[in-house]
Amino acid sequence: MKHIKSFLLLIFLIQNLVGQVENWERKASIMVDSQIMARGVSDNHVLNIMRQTPRHEFIPVEQQPNAYMDYPLPIGYEQTISQPYIVGLMTSLLQLKGHEKVLEIGTGSGYQAAVLAPLSNEVFTIEIVKELAERSAKKLKDLGYNNIHVKWGDGYQGWPDEAPFDAVIVTAAPPEVPPKLFEQLKVGGRLVIPVGSIWQELWVITKLEGEIMDKESVIPVRFVPMVHPEKPIPDQD
């Protein structure tokens, strides 16, 4: 009898989970309208792509019922998938037109890269946690994203072989702007990055002629820290 009850409970949980993700397009649309657009993000291209991107595919199965709620979720290895509002805000701040070559630092779950992919020409994304890099690369490939390139590496170094980039987005917070990321940005390009240790701010940095950095503070934020690898990471190129 005990085994039967356990089996029935398992069936109930599976059915409940399936129900949670079956209506994901409606949930994603509600998420965008009530959590992102309502808070001031107005770029229709970004909003429409986020309505069409299955956030539940990028998180552990036990977290999927919460996939379209407006808060970060754990994805393992002490990392999180960012709050949907922050994803929408940071993506809109890049002001992508569709032709850009974009560098992302901090692949994480792969969700941010999936949002960037239809809005740009190519996305190059670096993840310091090898297991997350491998998992995200497989997930993105399985979902049919063919313009995203994932690399296990040190985000502080950027991706020099593919530089320069039209836009750079960073999804972890360094104590200050990594010089190599600014160097790899094209003149006129935009770098969207959270900066700080205890107190963090989201910055939009535009690269001007003469390596001049034009900075604008957007809002206070809270991200996981951007860290250096414990050991050198072999060249993946």
Q: What is the pLDDT of residue 212?
A: 85
Distance CA 104, CA 86 (A): 15
> Residues near 120 by Cβ (< 8 Å), separated by ≥ 6?
96, 98, 99, 100, 101, 102, 147, 166, 167
pLDDT greater than 80 at residue 136: yes
Check residue 12 and give its pLDDT: 46
Helices 44-52 and 24-31 meet at what angle, rounded to 10?
150
Q: Is 206 helix (H, G, I), strand (E, B) or coil?
A: strand
Rounded to 10 degrees, what is the CA torsion of 36, 37, 41, 46?
A: 80
Phi, psi of 32 (to 5 degrees): -65, -45
What is the pLDDT of the chain when averaged over all its residues?
A: 91
What is the model's pLDDT at position 6?
A: 52
| List of residues 6+ apart from 103 with CB closer than 8 A | 123, 124, 125, 126, 158, 159, 162, 163, 165, 167, 168, 169, 181, 184
Mean pLDDT of 115-137: 97
Residues 6+ apart with CB under 8 A from 222: 200
- pLDDT > 70 fraction of the chain, expressed in percent and rounded: 89
Answer positive or negative: Cα dihedral of 146, 148, 152, 157: positive
Each residue's pLDDT tens digit, 80-125: 999 999 999 999 999 999 999 999 999 999 999 999 999 999 999 9
* Domain ranges (residues) in the chain: 2-221
pLDDT reported for residue 195: 97
Can you give the pLDDT at residue 7? Answer: 53
Question: What pTM was computed for the model?
Answer: 0.88
pLDDT band at 8 (very low <50, low <70, confident <90, very high): very low
What is the pLDDT, as a whole number, of residue 198? 85
Q: What CATH number labels 2-221?
A: 3.40.50.150
Active site residue 42: no
Residue-level pLDDT at 20: 54
Span 182-193, average pLDDT: 97
Instruction: Point out the catalytic residue in the list 6, 29, 42, 82.
Output: 82
Higher pLDDT, 117 or 230: 117
Rounded percentage of the chain residues whose pLDDT exceeds 90: 82
